[in-house]
Homo-oligomer: A and B are copies of this chain.
């Protein structure tokens, strides 16, 4: 097994410790409880408990955690020897994000009197949710450009580890189902309370059901012998959640949600079958998990759908709700058409930032002191984790022995 060089041993610890030291310092100086969290500023008896936004935000907030930690963590466990890294590093990155979110969002939204005032409703994890553009499109193309820079022509050497085993696929299905169940909360978490949240959840459900149906249909259709492919079910079935990320808050209509979801599931499944191979052979982009199929294409489609639905916004259709969905239109500062143009512009800015950022990220990861695993050791937990490989062998052997006893 590839031995980790001595200095490598210090990279992760130093990264964590420096980060935590810095954030802790910033917390000490800037972060305070907001009026709904501070014992002195809010207390039941002085207020109706329901005024405390906590009771409307906390459930969504938990759902988003369940979705990210369990959902994304286990979705990538489908790789037979990369489960520890998939669950472990998702876990690590998510906690990083939670602390940063407090600071970044805090300085943007709740910085006054020299302090950030924190309560659940300020969290980025909740605040930026739902964005087909800002999350899915950005994340996907950032990663794809990064992967382009890090292209490995000899990755074939790790081929045998690039597929799943029976139980790793079942673990991945736990991830898929958690993502499916909590996607409506993810999209609706940052929307306005009331009809906004209600409508967003409903549209997301309709879109997910349609993408699931089209994924099953297409997966059987494109396969040689009509058998379903777990990779499609685990991923493409969720494309409906991505494609309505921008528009589910708007008056998309139930039919619009179903149509969008159906299209997304179809495009995503076809992407896995026909485009992913081309992406590697032609464009030298190795997209192991198919993020281009689940986040890239559905994300762009979702951004464009947002353009169209925004363009159709009228005072008649939205009534008082217009204020919470399109405040600038409601205040007459912007027409529906210009709103649509802004949406379209936002998508191109996102793609530009993602491509530049991803490319730079790739170059950064190529820095000599950040040595990466050899081509023959990719998708292998043993590089980063102590893996109970040998016990596994033993686990089989005594088992055989015990069977005899059981038989006896």
Contacts and interface: CB of A to CB of B under 8 A. Distances in A.
Given A46-B320, A228-B386, A254-B31, A83 B166 contact: yes
Nearest to A96: B213
Contacts of A38: 195, 199, 251, 319, 321
Q: Interface size for chain A: under 10, 10 to 19, 20 to 34, or 35 or more residues? A: 35 or more
Contacts of A24: 210, 255, 258-259, 262
Interface in A174-204: 174, 176-178, 180-182, 184-185, 192-199, 201-202
B386 A223 contact: yes
Q: How many copies does the complex hold?
A: 3
16 contacts: A9-B223, A13-B218, A20-B213, A39-B317, A40-B319, A43-B319, A62-B63, A70-B181, A73-B177, A88-B173, A91-B233, A99-B206, A99-B213, A227-B386, A230-B385, A393-B399
Contacts of A345: none
A402 B8 CA distance: 21
A62 B95 CA distance: 24
Nearest to A313: B39
A292 to B, nearest CB: 21
Given A39-B199, A70-B177, A163-B391, 20 more contacts: A4-B227, A12-B217, A12-B226, A33-B254, A38-B251, A38-B321, A39-B251, A41-B319, A44-B324, A52-B198, A62-B184, A69-B177, A70-B174, A70-B178, A91-B212, A118-B202, A119-B202, A120-B198, A120-B202, A161-B398
Q: Is the interface of A mostly helix, strand, loop or mixed?
A: helix
Interface string A158-176: 0011011111011101101
Interface in A27-69: 27-28, 31-33, 36-50, 52, 54-56, 58-59, 62-63, 65-66, 69
Interface in A226-266: 226-230, 233, 237, 251, 253-255, 258-259, 262
